[in-house]
Structure 1
Amino acid sequence: MMRFRHLSYFVFIWIISVSCQQTEVIPRISLEEEQMLLGNPSGASSDVRNTNNYLITRPQFALSYSKSRGTPNWVSWHVSKDWLGNAPRQDNFRSDVTLPEGWYRVKASSYSGSGFDRGHNTPSADRTKTVEDNAATFLMTNMIPQAPKNNQETWANLEDYTRELVQAGQEVYVIMGSYGTGGTGSNGGTVNNIDEGRLTVPSRIWKVVVVLPEGNDDLSRINANTRVIAVNTPNTQSVRTDWASYRTTVDAIEKATGYDLLSAVPTDIQEVLESRVDKDPVR
């Protein structure tokens, strides 16, 4: 009987050992790292001397900020069901006091009378898990002067579609940005800047969306068949509301901006994904 007990004990230990060896250990990343999983498109850094490519990382999103333009160059974030909840829209537009000392801090009132919306990069509705998450999206470092029709119709439709994908069992990584000078708002005419020249009005607004089924270890799951949606729209009141008609390639956006998008993805996979225009039906 004693011999049988010893044998049972060793069999139990062996089973536990094998189970532990077969359990996949998935490394945890911080929320800040999650928002930049696809890479740092412009090589932004938090060095205060890097005034027009200054890196700001938050649990809710990451961005490259331009002091001279008064807007982000690009903003990067992740959306999964875990980020979506019932927190109400805060509407607490405010200056970003984390900007370096001496830098102009865009105010909530800086867009007043300009004919342009305070256009979110990371949308309010993408961050509804907590009040704190939603409030973060109303920092003025997350805003660009956006033509009202572009913001409220074209871009809103794309944002709604992105969240529909998430609710249907996908998760998405998004990079959005703007470039150029001169847009047309509700006051008419091309406007190059607002707020007494301290805010540049972009001429183009772009977005790249990488779509994955829900899962873990997301970067390793991106392959040559992964869906990538790239869109580039004019910042005008005459913009079409059908965002899908503005689909383009990541390569084209990179050529226009000088950025290296999806830089954390293996080069061979990048080459395939970035040269392809998304053709999937959107409704």
Structure 2
Amino acid sequence: MTADLTRQATLKDMIRIGPDPFEDLERAGREPTTSADEFHGRSGYEPEFLSGWQILLPQPSDDVRELRRGGPGIELKYQNFSVIMSASRRLPIITAANIDGSQSRRVPRISTWSFDGRLDKEDQWGDALYDGNALDRGHMVRREDPIWGSRAEANTANADTFHFTNSCPQMAGVNQKVWLGLEDYVLQHARVDRMRVSVFTGPFFGKNDLAYRSALVPKAFWKVVAIVTEDGRPSATAYKVDQVKELEELEFVYSAYKTFQISINQVMKATKIDFSGLVPFDGFSQHENATGTDLIERLDSLESVRV
């Protein structure tokens, strides 16, 4: 194409070469809400999911948010997972997901986060917490984990994970390396071996959490994984990741963060969530019960994980 030098530039004639870079910077106040009726029929987390091993949804001891519409109780049921919310923190206390590796699917990621209409908007943090900073909307139930079943069920699970009730503020570094690798390992192992897994995830709430935009940003997160091994042995393990260093200035500057394998005893002590039914199947907890000494192992690679 030959340049027509008689066509001088005007702002009106200029075109954008991509999406408006400012379009998504400030989204607070524009978030959609999924109505309570749209969740009708969701079964949520299944306690009998692991063959021969019933694991009831652990109940937090206090500060829970009851549903305001769409049914009674404190359990927000989604496709293949459930969430219990903190009343004071406006964030999930615990999430519980079932993974069926034999029915796992891959579906396209979506980008829109929504409020859950079974609660008031004031019960859950939306984009007012995430606009214009380095905080990620960190999935507590990893997006890929509950995506299994029929194509329709998989698509429903995918969309369900993008509700603010399933989100905690996380710095970008927390979603990388060992923590992400651990989640990848759990899902890929389930897919390859066509096995079933139950996963519980949540934040460690503490008195010294970072005060930011009227919220308290948790400094660490926990995960409890339950499986039945190939020889029929029930196995439960717990993990911790902190984001203390990343939160120091609340801006993304990459630095090493720490991921640990810990005992389920330690998760219970810090969160007041009752996982006592899993303690007999957690080697770390059993070691602590026998020795009276806390056991914490830093995970520098997936080869360090013990199940």
Q: Give me the TM-score of the superposition, normalised by structure 2.
A: 0.63
Is 1:147 matched with 2:171? yes
Residue of structure 1 in register with 2:205 after alignment: 180
Is 1:115 matched with 2:126? no
Residue of structure 2 in register with 1:26 after alignment: none
Alignment of 1:71-86 (within 5 A): 71-82=91-102, 84-86=104-106
CA-to-partner distance for each residue in 1:114-137, whole Å, 9 max, x for gaps? 322110011112133322110100
Counterpart-to-counterpart distance in 2, 1:95 and 1:108: 10
- Matched to 1:128, the amino acid is I
Q: CA deviation at 1:271?
A: 7.6
Is 1:275 matched with 2:286? yes
Residue of structure 2 in register with 1:56 after alignment: 76
Counterpart-to-counterpart distance in 2, 1:232 and 1:75: 15
Is 1:251 matched with 2:265? yes
Q: Partner of 1:275: helix, strand, or coil?
A: helix
- Matched to 1:234, the amino acid is D
Counterpart-to-counterpart distance in 2, 1:271 and 1:164: 22
Residue of structure 1 in register with 2:10 after alignment: none
CA contact (8 A) 1:145 1:201 kept: yes
CA contact (8 A) 1:250 1:274 kept: yes
Is 1:96 matched with 2:113? no
- Matched to 2:182, the amino acid is L
Residue of structure 2 in register with 1:205 after alignment: 221
Change (3 A) 1:120 1:47: closer
Larger radius of gyration: 1
Residues paired across the two proteins, number = 227
Change (3 A) 1:90 1:147: same
Larger helix fraction of residues:
1
Gaps of 5+ in 1: 1-29, 184-190, 216-220
CA contact (8 A) 1:80 1:171 kept: yes
CA contact (8 A) 1:88 1:128 kept: no
Change (3 A) 1:46 1:72: closer
Counterpart-to-counterpart distance in 1, 2:165 and 2:125: 8
**Aligned-pair identity (%):** 22
Counterpart-to-counterpart distance in 2, 1:114 and 1:35: 38
Counterpart-to-counterpart distance in 2, 1:35 and 1:113: 39
Q: CA deviation at 1:180?
A: 2.8
CA contact (8 A) 2:105 2:147 kept: yes
* Structure 2 counterpart of 1:193, from 194, 211, 216: 211
Q: Partner of 2:75: helix, strand, or coil?
A: strand
Q: CA deviation at 1:90?
A: 1.5
Gaps of 5+ in 2: 1-41, 49-53, 149-153, 247-254, 288-294
- Matched to 1:150, the amino acid is V
Residue of structure 1 in register with 2:235 after alignment: 227
Is 1:240 matched with 2:257? yes
- Matched to 1:229, the amino acid is T
